């Protein structure tokens, strides 16, 4: 199980059978687990399409498909991180924390899929995520609800100019953020998830 800002594994009550009287917001019926599972699975097909191209075009394709994550490594590295995320998402026995390498790639994948979904017609949207009843998916709200921060969107000069205190104040505390912002290739350990035995969310009583 992957640890996001909010728990994606909490069961929500299903959507009402009657049509909504007012336009719904994405979070009312949105199933975050289903969304992340669907986009990571579908991304495997995207990677296979790129791999069918001549290798000399892979870097150019990665820049288009992964506008931020392409800096951290070539296609095989990105696909390995994707598979790590997919396995962690579906592992219901252990909680896994992600680092900035994981969040950066996931952001690019989710942004593209959300964009494509929102530009489909209502009928096609309903086929992709039936629980949303064809309503738009608000990507900015999704990021706010499930990502701890988006430090990977900064350029290296702006990030490196921040003092440790300024980074802390902005909430830039996710592991490996320096490596991602500065385009460093992740190590095998950095591509892995970190297991935790503690329940990662606050329990209200």
Helix 100-118 × helix 139-146 angle, to 10°:
150
| Phi-psi region at 134: left, alpha or beta (left = phi > 0; alpha = psi -120 to 50) | left
0.85 cut: is pTM over it?
yes
Lowest mean per-residue pLDDT among 13-27, 28-42, 60-74, 154-168: 13-27
Dist. CA 6–CA 155, nearest whole Å: 27
Can you give the pLDDT at residue 10?
A: 84
Positive/negative CA dihedral, 153, 156, 158, 160: positive
Q: Across residues 98-121, what is the average pLDDT?
A: 96
Q: What digits encode the pLDDT tens for the residues 154-181?
A: 999 999 999 999 999 999 999 999 999 9
Can you give the pLDDT at residue 174?
A: 93
Task: List, in sequence order, the alpha helices (H) in the chain.
Answer: 26-29, 32-51, 58-65, 75-90, 100-118, 122-128, 139-146, 156-160, 164-169, 177-181, 188-191
Q: What digits encode the pLDDT tens for the residues 68-105?
A: 999 999 999 999 999 999 999 999 999 999 999 999 99
Query: Do 183 and 156 form a contact (C-beta atoms < 8 A)?
Result: yes
Residue 50 has pLDDT above 90, yes or no: yes
Q: Using pLDDT thresholds of 50, 70 and 90, give the confidence band for residue 135.
A: confident
């Amino acid at each position: 199980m992957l640890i996001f800002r909010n728990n994606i594994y909490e069961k929500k009550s299903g959507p009402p059978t009657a049509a909504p009287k007012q336009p719904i917001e994405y979070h009312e019926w949105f199933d975050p687990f289903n969304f992340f599972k669907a986009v990571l699975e579908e991304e495997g097909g995207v990677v296979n399409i790129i791999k069918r191209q001549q290798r000399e075009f892979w870097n150019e394709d990665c820049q288009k498909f992964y506008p931020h994550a392409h800096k951290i490594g070539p296609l095989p590295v990105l696909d390995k991180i994707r598979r790590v995320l997919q396995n962690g998402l579906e592992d219901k026995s252990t909680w896994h924390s992600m680092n900035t390498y994981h969040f950066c790639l996931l952001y690019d994948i989710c942004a593209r899929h959300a964009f494509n979904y929102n530009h489909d017609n209502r009928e096609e949207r309903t086929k992709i995520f039936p629980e949303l009843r064809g309503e738009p998916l608000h990507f900015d709200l999704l990021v706010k609800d499930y990502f701890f921060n988006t430090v990977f969107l900064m350029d290296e000069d702006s990030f490196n100019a921040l003092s440790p205190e300024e980074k802390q104040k902005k909430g830039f505390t996710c592991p490996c953020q320096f490596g991602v912002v500065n385009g460093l290739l992740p190590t095998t350990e950095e591509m892995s998830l970190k297991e935790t035995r503690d329940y990662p969310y606050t329990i209200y009583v």
